[in-house]
Amino acid sequence: MSTRPRLVTASAAPSQRCGACHSHTMCLAASASGANPGTADAPPTLTLNKGQRVFGSGTPFDCLYLLCEGECKTERGIGDGQTQVTGFYQPGEILGLDALAGDSYCSDAIALSECTLCRLPYGALLAAMGRLPALRAQFQQLMGSEIARLQANLLLLGHARAPRRLAALLLDLASRRAAPGRMCKRFRLSMSREDIAAYLGLSGESVSRLLSALRADGVLRVRNREIELLDVARLRRLAAPEALA
Amino acid sequence: MSTRPRLVTASAAPSQRCGACHSHTMCLAASASGANPGTADAPPTLTLNKGQRVFGSGTPFDCLYLLCEGECKTERGIGDGQTQVTGFYQPGEILGLDALAGDSYCSDAIALSECTLCRLPYGALLAAMGRLPALRAQFQQLMGSEIARLQANLLLLGHARAPRRLAALLLDLASRRAAPGRMCKRFRLSMSREDIAAYLGLSGESVSRLLSALRADGVLRVRNREIELLDVARLRRLAAPEALA
DNA sequence: CGCTGTATTGATAACCATCAAAGAGGGTGG
DNA sequence: CCACCCTCTTTGATGGTTATCAATACAGCG
Would the pLDDT of B243 be above 60? no
> At how many degrees (to 10) do helices A162-176 and A193-200 cross?
110
Say if B19 is an interface residue toward chain A (CB within 8 Å).
Answer: no
How many CB pairs (< 8 A) connect A and B?
Answer: 149
Q: According to the model, what pLDDT value does residue A79 have? A: 77
CA distance A41 to A101: 29
Q: For chain B, how many structural domains are there in total?
A: 2
Chain B residues inside the 8 Å CB shell of A153: 154
Are A65 and A95 a contacting pair, CB within 8 Å? yes
Whole-prediction pTM: 0.88
CA distance B191 to B88: 9
Tell me which residue in B80, B144, B158 faces A157 most closely, judged by beta carbons.
B158
Whether B83 maps to a domain, the answer reads yes
Q: According to the model, what pLDDT value does residue A20 have? A: 60
Say if B77 is an interface residue toward chain A (CB within 8 Å).
Answer: yes
Say if B143 is an interface residue toward chain A (CB within 8 Å).
Answer: yes
Who wins on pLDDT, B73 or B24?
B73
Whether B208 maps to a domain, the answer reads yes
CA distance B89 to A128: 32
CA distances from A98 to A39, A105, A133, A138, A229 (A): 28, 7, 23, 17, 32
Note whether B220 and B141 are same-domain residues: no
Find the mean pLDDT for residues B225-238.
Answer: 95
The dihedral through the CA atoms of B187, B192, B198, B204 has a sign that is: positive
Q: According to the model, what pLDDT value does residue A56 have? A: 95
Note whether B84 and B188 are same-domain residues: no
Note whether B144 and B47 are same-domain residues: yes
Tell me which residues from 207 to 236 on chain B have a beta carbon below 7 angstroms from nucleic acid strand D: 207-209, 211-212, 222, 224-225
Give the tens place of pLDDT for each residue, A20-58.
Answer: 666 666 666 666 554 444 444 556 789 999 999 999 999
Note whether B137 and B181 are same-domain residues: no
Residue-range definition of the domain harbouring residue A227: 160-244
Q: Kindly state the percentage of chain A with pLDDT values over 90.
A: 65
Residue A39, SS3 per DSSP: helix
- Does the nearest atom of strand D lie within 7 Å of A83's Cβ? no
Would the pLDDT of B234 be above 80? yes
Give the tens place of pLDDT for each residue, A157-207.
Answer: 999 999 999 999 999 999 999 888 889 999 999 999 999 999 999 999 999
Nucleotide C5 C1' to residue A170 CA (A): 24
CA distances from A186 to A216, A225, A226 (A): 18, 11, 8
- Does the nearest atom of strand D lie within 7 Å of A190's Cβ? no
Do the chains contact at B106 and A151, CB–CB below 8 Å?
yes
Find the mean pLDDT for residues A205-212.
Answer: 98
Measure CA A96 to chain center: 10
Note whether A136 and A184 are same-domain residues: no
Measure CA B34 to chain center: 24
Determine the residue of chain A that is closest to B85 in CA distance. A155
Characterize A138-169 residue by residue with b for buried, 16 or more Cβ atoms within 10 angstroms of its Cβ, and e for exposed.
Answer: ebbebbbbbbbbbbbbbbbbbbbebebbbbbb
Nucleotide D30 C1' to residue A224 CA (A): 21
Who wins on pLDDT, B89 or A24?
B89
CA distance B214 to B222: 9
Characterize B74-113 residue by residue with b for buried, 16 or more Cβ atoms within 10 angstroms of its Cβ, and e for exposed.
Answer: bbbebeeeebbbbbbbebebbbbbbbbbeeebbbbbbbbe
Note whether A140 and A53 are same-domain residues: yes
Measured in degrees and rounded to the nearest 5, phi and psi for residue B112 equal: -95, -10
Q: Kindly state the percentage of chain A with pLDDT values over 70.
A: 80
Whether B4 maps to a domain, the answer reads no
Whether A5 maps to a domain, the answer reads no
Domain boundary among B125, B149, B173: B149
Note whether A143 and A22 are same-domain residues: yes
Whether A3 maps to a domain, the answer reads no
Who wins on pLDDT, A218 or A25?
A218
Q: According to the model, what pLDDT value does residue A2 have? A: 36
Note whether B32 and B117 are same-domain residues: yes
Contact positions of strand C to protein Cβ (< 7 A): 6-11, 15-20, 25-26
- Does the nearest atom of strand D lie within 7 Å of B149's Cβ? no
Q: Which of residues 165-204 of B touch A (CB under 8 A)?
A: 198-201
Say if B58 is an interface residue toward chain A (CB within 8 Å).
Answer: no
Are B228 and B183 a contacting pair, CB within 8 Å? no
Say if A76 is an interface residue toward chain B (CB within 8 Å).
Answer: yes
Residue A130: give its domain's CATH number.
Answer: 2.60.120.10
- Does the nearest atom of strand C lie within 7 Å of A211's Cβ? yes
Are A21 and A68 a contacting pair, CB within 8 Å? yes
Who wins on pLDDT, A60 or A243?
A60
Domain boundary among B118, B149, B180: B149
Do the chains contact at B243 and A198, CB–CB below 8 Å?
no
The dihedral through the CA atoms of A21, A171, A144, B174 has a sign that is: negative
Note whether A131 and A187 are same-domain residues: no
Residue-averaged pLDDT of chain B? 85
In which band, very low, low, confident or very high, does the pLDDT at B182 lie, cut at 50, 70 and 90?
Answer: confident
CA distance A74 to A89: 8
Would the pLDDT of B174 be above 50? yes
Who wins on pLDDT, A84 or A42?
A84
Closest alpha carbon to B220 in B185, B192, B193: B185
Note whether A119 and A193 are same-domain residues: no
Would the pLDDT of B165 be above 90? yes
Residue A164: give its domain's CATH number.
Answer: 1.10.10.10
Domain boundary among B127, B149, B171: B149
In which band, very low, low, confident or very high, does the pLDDT at B200 lie, cut at 50, 70 and 90?
Answer: very high
Q: According to the model, what pLDDT value does residue A173 have? A: 96
Find the mean pLDDT for residues A134-156.
Answer: 93
Q: According to the model, what pLDDT value does residue B4 have? A: 34
In which band, very low, low, confident or very high, does the pLDDT at B48 lie, cut at 50, 70 and 90?
Answer: very high
Find the mean pLDDT for residues A214-237.
Answer: 96
Are B213 and B174 a contacting pair, CB within 8 Å? no
- Nucleotide at minimal C1' distance from the B208 CA: D10
Q: According to the model, what pLDDT value does residue A201 have? A: 97
Q: According to the model, what pLDDT value does residue A18 have? A: 63
Q: According to the model, what pLDDT value does residue A44 have? A: 75
Say if A155 is an interface residue toward chain B (CB within 8 Å).
Answer: yes
- In this structure, what is the dihedral angle of CA atoms B105, B108, B109, B112, given to the nearest 10 degrees? 180
Note whether B168 and B131 are same-domain residues: no
CA angle, residues A176, A214, A113, in degrees to nearest 5:
40
Give the tens place of pLDDT for each residue, B101-153.
Answer: 999 999 999 999 999 999 999 999 988 888 888 888 889 999 999 999 999 99
Whether A155 maps to a domain, the answer reads no
Residue B95, SS3 per DSSP: strand
In which band, very low, low, confident or very high, does the pLDDT at A11 lie, cut at 50, 70 and 90?
Answer: very low
Q: Which of A4-8, A12-16, A152-156, B128-132 has the highest mean pLDDT?
A: A152-156
Give the tens place of pLDDT for each residue, B6-36.
Answer: 333 333 334 455 656 666 667 666 665 544 4
State the amino acid at position A108 in one-letter form: D
Give the HSE-up count for residue A176: Cα atoms under 13 Å, Cβ half-sphere.
Answer: 17
DSSP A102-123: SSB--SEEEESSSEEEEEEEHH
Closest alpha carbon to B22 in B78, B69, B73: B69
Whether B6 maps to a domain, the answer reads no
Say if B137 is an interface residue toward chain A (CB within 8 Å).
Answer: yes
Measured in degrees and rounded to the nearest 5, phi and psi for residue A185 equal: -85, -15
Note whether B136 and B98 are same-domain residues: yes
Measure CA B91 to chain center: 7
Across chain A, the runs of DSSP E, i.e. the strands, are 6-8, 45-48, 53-55, 63-69, 72-77, 83-89, 94-95, 108-111, 115-121, 186-188, 220-223, 226-229
Residue B147, SS3 per DSSP: helix
Chain A residues inside the 8 Å CB shell of B79: 240-244
Q: According to the model, what pLDDT value does residue B17 have? A: 58
Whether B7 maps to a domain, the answer reads no
